[in-house]
Amino acid sequence: MNELITISIMAFALGMDAFSLAIGMGMLGLRYKHIFKIGITIGAFHVIMPFLGIVIGKFLTQYFGFLAIMIGGALLIILGLQMLYSALFSDEYNEKILQPQGIGLLLFALSVSVDSFSVGLSLGMIGAKTVITLLSFGFMSMTLSWLGLIIGKKVQGYIGVYGELLGGFILLGFGIKLLWPL
């Protein structure tokens, strides 16, 4: 049960990145049919990328054991710090957004799911349950993307930066938790 709660919180943290960027994209005035398609694509990428990370992480654990857990914790800390830095000091959130169609949609989905590869790598190193992790990551990122796109469509605000901050703090916390007993 504790692992399910942990995975759910991590899925939420990773989905917050998609949520924050989706708010900006939602301000483009997208139709609901297009919003649905974007959410599905982002959800799919949040299943594929951590799957690749988990597979590679499990492979590394077989050969590096305890060191792999330390590396996984460090990756989570680095990823959390990067999300915090991006939210606080980068103007990337406010820069020109790719149009969410064709290759632009694929690049957008890839850009918001790259961090889930690193988290998947960490989870693979510590032996997380693959199916539960992938379903949680995909469902949460899809749902938060839809929510962000709809909010962006309805209002113009600064919620996105705060969402990315929350996600960064959560990943940072789990990285510290993973390394704490060491």
User: Is the confidence at residue 38, as pLDDT, over 90?
Assistant: yes
Residue 63, helix vs strand vs coil:
helix
Domain count, the chain: 1
pTM of the predicted model as reported, rounded to 2 decimal places? 0.69
- Supply the range of the domain harboring residue 52: 2-179
| Share above pLDDT 70 across residues of the chain, in percent, rounded to a whole number | 76
Better pLDDT: 20 or 150: 150
Average pLDDT, the chain: 78
User: Is the confidence at residue 40, as pLDDT, over 90?
Assistant: yes
Rg of the chain over CA atoms, in angstroms? 16
Residue burial 84-123, b: 16+ Cβ < 10 Å; e: rest: bebbeeeeebeeebeebeeeebeebbebbbebbbbbbbbb
Nearest by Cα to 83 from 5, 21, 28, 152: 21
Per-residue model confidence (pLDDT) at position 69: 66
Mean pLDDT of 73-98: 66
| Share above pLDDT 90 across residues of the chain, in percent, rounded to a whole number | 19
Band of residue 135 on the pLDDT scale cut at 50, 70, 90: very high
pLDDT tens track for 66-76: 666 677 677 76
